[in-house]
Amino acid sequence: VGAIAGKLYEDDDDVLDSIKECTSDWTIEKALPVSSGGQWAGKTPINYKKIGNADFLHLSGGGIYAHPDGAEAGARSVRQAWEATLKDIRLEDYASEKPELASAIKHFGKPSY
């Protein structure tokens, strides 16, 4: 469906329209929306806020594999960002005890809220 605050051509409203279509009742199985393109741990809060739930795939390829401490740290940073987001904790605060998330924020920049 594109990505919330992503790097591709769709704006957030187009992405949200696509998500709505994927999850609408068309008397067929619903599809799992995917937010992909320029995603990393810091994009977790804006995705959750705009989509309104966590029932989508937050695909963070570059955010994982381009993490300065390696792919495992990148994956941990995304998981940590989701933990913080679902607990309504700012990522910068949560990162004080999560080195992978702290490193991601230092490398990729300010999280999107």
Q: Model's pTM, two decimal places?
A: 0.86
Percent of the chain having pLDDT more than 90? 65
pLDDT in tens, 63-109: 999 999 999 999 999 999 999 999 999 999 999 999 999 999 999 99
For residue 80, CA distances in Å to 19, 46, 48, 85, 95 come to 24, 15, 14, 9, 8
User: Can you read off the two tokens belonging to residue 76?
Assistant: 């941990």
Kindly report which listed range (8-12, 19-23, 82-86) carries the lowest average pLDDT score: 8-12
Q: Is residue 5 part of a domain?
A: no
Q: Is residue 3 part of a domain?
A: no
Q: Is residue 63 part of a domain?
A: yes
Q: Is residue 34 part of a domain?
A: yes
Q: In the chain, how many domains are there? A: 1
Instruction: Tell me the residue range of the domain where 87 lies.
Output: 12-108
Q: Is residue 91 part of a domain?
A: yes
What's the pLDDT at 6?
A: 81
Q: Is residue 1 part of a domain?
A: no
CB atoms within 10 A of CB 57: 11
Q: Is residue 30 part of a domain?
A: yes
Q: Is residue 113 part of a domain?
A: no
